[in-house]
């Protein structure tokens, strides 16, 4: 079914027209692929149970490892993310050289190893190793999975299906916070292992990316991949394959030509810019100060309820994003997202600056909580969800894995820097600075979206790169191209 079976011969000699190819004929199988791939991000969200509320038990001594100090928990969790830097490089190069599916298989195996380590953890080093494996899984879930989906899904639903990965992460968080009081830690760890084990089987039924296969001159396999993902419609598969074969994917280029092409430069700038703004426009700041904001707002929610409420808000916002991404476009959602982030963060900056100057704000102590909720909505509408969508649409197929590696490394470094410097800035300058900086960056992100980010709604993956790609005279066509079309 899914292991890229290539029909021995086409029963229909007809090749579908461009108009027919523009219609999606394989939605059910594309949705199946999206569900299977997104299980990785669901597992990532589920793993948050190890940070909170489990950290409460760890600091209280109610755990098999022994009593931990709160700072030790934070250090263990934070330093384990160094492994994600290496993971990003490994996953990206694997996807670029050997295919998207081998990278997904590798991620699932690392996930299983990490879950088993955590399930049998008896010391702090084991917890560090397990969380290191989990951080590798997060990189693969948010990079390689959406990469494969972007190359299997039809252009009319591509944005929605990739956004589903972000939605699954939020579902995982909600499950972690909601079900944790009713199940033991061991149950969660078993589930954490079962999901990637099931993926190892389910991946068999999903084909490799046809774009990757054509770029590697494996045209017959690409034929089978399109046959599967287009609902076994042979004329449609032939029509799409003909478009891929006649594109720049089948042209010989040196590494230098690929890197110097305008498409690569523009895709790299857009992709890394969106990743940078995802991590620096306030989300990590709220992760650090969410408990403090809730407590100062009258403690109307406990730690567990706070997690449930905000996971629910994120799910609602992600559902709206999933619905609108292929209707109103990517740039519109980014404008709304960065604009909302700017307003929420600016209000909080003024609020905490006023507290520092001894202004009495007792009557509006609820304001930070409201701002945090508004930020959660705006962030998940675009800045949080579209970072898995647009980098996979604007980067050329030949360099997508390399750029994904760079994005993953940047993502991991920014996580460590932002989380590490928050307490330093608060200690020396005041807490308001931690909200002032991302508010300024959000304003810069609005300009970046207007000037740099392209609109990719309704375009095939080739449309954008072909517009900016090197001219035909700079490339040498493949010999023995395809004789059966």
Q: Consecutive sets of 10 residues in the chain, 485 residues long: mean pLDDT of each?
A: 45 53 76 92 74 41 38 54 72 85 89 79 69 70 83 87 88 81 76 90 93 87 89 82 71 56 79 90 82 71 72 88 88 93 92 81 80 91 87 80 80 79 81 90 94 83 60 39 35
| β partners of residue 477 | 251
Q: Could you give the CA distance from residue 143 to residue 347 in angstroms, rounded to a whole number?
A: 33
Closest CA to 370 of 409, 343, 405, 408: 343
Closest CA to 170 of 276, 11, 57, 48: 48
| Residue 396: predicted pLDDT | 78
Angle, vertex CA 104, rays to CA 102 and CA 110, nearest 5: 105
| β partners of residue 251 | 477
Contact 145, 15 (CB under 8 A): no
| Residue 256: predicted pLDDT | 57
Indicate left, alpha or beta for 154 from its phi (over 0: left) and psi (-120 to 50: alpha): beta
**Domains, the chain, ranges and CATH?**
17-206 (1.20.1250.20), 252-476 (1.20.1250.20)
| Residue 411: predicted pLDDT | 81
Residues 6+ apart with CB under 8 A from 311: 170, 173, 174, 177
| Residue 5: predicted pLDDT | 47
Contact 15, 238 (CB under 8 A): yes
Contact 149, 162 (CB under 8 A): yes
| Residue 48: predicted pLDDT | 66
Contact 190, 85 (CB under 8 A): no
Spell 266-284 as b/e; 16+ CB within 10 A means b: bbbebbbbbbbbbbbbbbb
Contact 221, 208 (CB under 8 A): yes
Answering whether pTM is above 0.85, one says: no
Rg of the chain (C-alpha set): 23
Neighbours of 246 (CB within 10 A): 14
């Amino acid at each position: 079914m899914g292991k890229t079976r290539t029909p021995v011969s086409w029963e229909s000699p007809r090749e579908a027209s461009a108009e027919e190819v523009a219609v999606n004929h394989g939605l059910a199988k594309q949705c199946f692929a999206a569900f299977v791939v997104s299980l990785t991000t669901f597992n990532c969200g589920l793993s948050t149970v190890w940070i909170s509320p489990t950290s409460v038990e760890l600091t209280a001594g109610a755990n098999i490892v022994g009593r931990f100090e709160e700072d030790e928990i934070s250090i263990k969790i934070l330093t384990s993310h160094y492994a994600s830097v290496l993971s990003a490089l490994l996953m990206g190069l694997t996807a670029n050289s050997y295919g998207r599916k081998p990278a997904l298989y590798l991620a699932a195996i690392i996930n299983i190893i990490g879950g088993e380590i955590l399930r049998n953890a008896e010391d702090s080093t084991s917890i560090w190793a397990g969380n290191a494996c989990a951080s590798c899984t997060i990189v693969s879930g948010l990079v390689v999975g959406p990469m494969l989906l972007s190359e299997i899904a039809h252009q009319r639903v591509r944005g929605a299906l990739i956004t589903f990965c972000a939605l699954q992460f939020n579902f995982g968080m909600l499950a972690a916070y909601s079900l944790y009081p009713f199940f033991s830690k061991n149950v969660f760890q078993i589930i954490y292992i079962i999901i990637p084990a099931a993926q190892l089987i389910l991946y068999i039924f999903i084909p490799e990316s046809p774009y990757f296969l054509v770029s590697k001159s494996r045209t017959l396999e690409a034929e089978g991949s399109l046959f599967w993902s287009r609902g076994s419609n042979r004329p449609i598969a032939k029509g799409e394959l003909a478009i891929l074969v006649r594109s720049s994917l089948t042209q010989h280029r040196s590494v230098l030509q690929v890197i110097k092409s305008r498409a690569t430069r523009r895709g790299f700038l857009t992709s890394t810019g969106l990743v940078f703004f995802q991590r620096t426009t306030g989300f990590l700041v709220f992760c650090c100060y969410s408990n403090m904001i809730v407590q100062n707002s009258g403690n109307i929610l406990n730690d567990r309820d706070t997690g449930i409420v905000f996971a629910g808000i994120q799910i609602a916002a992600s559902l709206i994003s999933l619905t609108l991404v292929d209707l109103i476009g990517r740039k519109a959602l980014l404008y709304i997202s960065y604009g909302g982030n700017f307003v929420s963060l600016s209000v909080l900056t003024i609020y905490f600056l006023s507290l520092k100057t001894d202004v009495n704000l007792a009557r509006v102590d609820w304001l930070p909580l409201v701002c945090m909720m508004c930020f959660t909505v705006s962030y998940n509408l675009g800045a949080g969800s579209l970072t898995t969508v647009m980098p996979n649409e604007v980067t050329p197929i030949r360099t997508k894995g390399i750029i994904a590696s760079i994005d993953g490394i940047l993502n991991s470094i920014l996580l460590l820097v932002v989380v590490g410097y928050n307490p330093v800035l608060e200690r020396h300058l005041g807490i308001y600075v931690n909200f002032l900086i991302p508010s300024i960056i959000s304003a810069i992100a609005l300009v970046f979206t207007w000037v740099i980010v392209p609109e990719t709604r309704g375009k095939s993956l080739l449309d954008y790169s072909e517009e900016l790609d090197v001219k035909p005279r700079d490339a040498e066509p493949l010999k023995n191209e395809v004789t059966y079309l």
